[in-house]
Amino acid sequence: MIRSHRDDLVHELVKYLIDPDEDPDVDLLADAINTLKDLHRFWINVELSTGGFFLPDGSDVGDVDAEEVVPLSLMVLQQCLDAYLEGIASAIPQ
């Protein structure tokens, strides 16, 4: 189900940008982002357990917390979700 929603978001992105009546399934999007976070955290922990991270010049970056490392793509997705939820919350009359 997440996969089909992902395909719809990716291939029909313009629909969500142009048509104000189209809304993504926010729960599925949030679940997908959380799944990506879990996968990313898993692979960061694998990397840390096999020697850590090194800069292009070969120097070690030192102690790294897997919770603190977030790829830009995931950061952008989270910001999109946060902005959408903020917009929904501000549209609800107080």
Domain ranges of the chain: 1-91
Nearest to 9 by CA among 25, 21, 33: 25
Total residues found in the chain within this entry: 94
Q: Residue 67: what residue type?
A: E
pLDDT at residue 38, rounded to an integer: 93
Produce one character per residue of 43-72: b if its CB has 16 or more CB atoms within 10 Å, e if not.
Answer: ebeeeeeeeeeeeeeeeeeeeeeeeebeee
pLDDT at residue 94, rounded to an integer: 65
Say which DSSP state 92 is in: S
pLDDT at residue 49, rounded to an integer: 82
Q: For the chain, which ranges sit under pLDDT 50?
A: none
Percent of the chain with pLDDT over 90: 11
pLDDT in tens, 44-60: 888 888 877 777 787 77
Q: Is 60 helix (H, G, I), strand (E, B) or coil?
A: strand
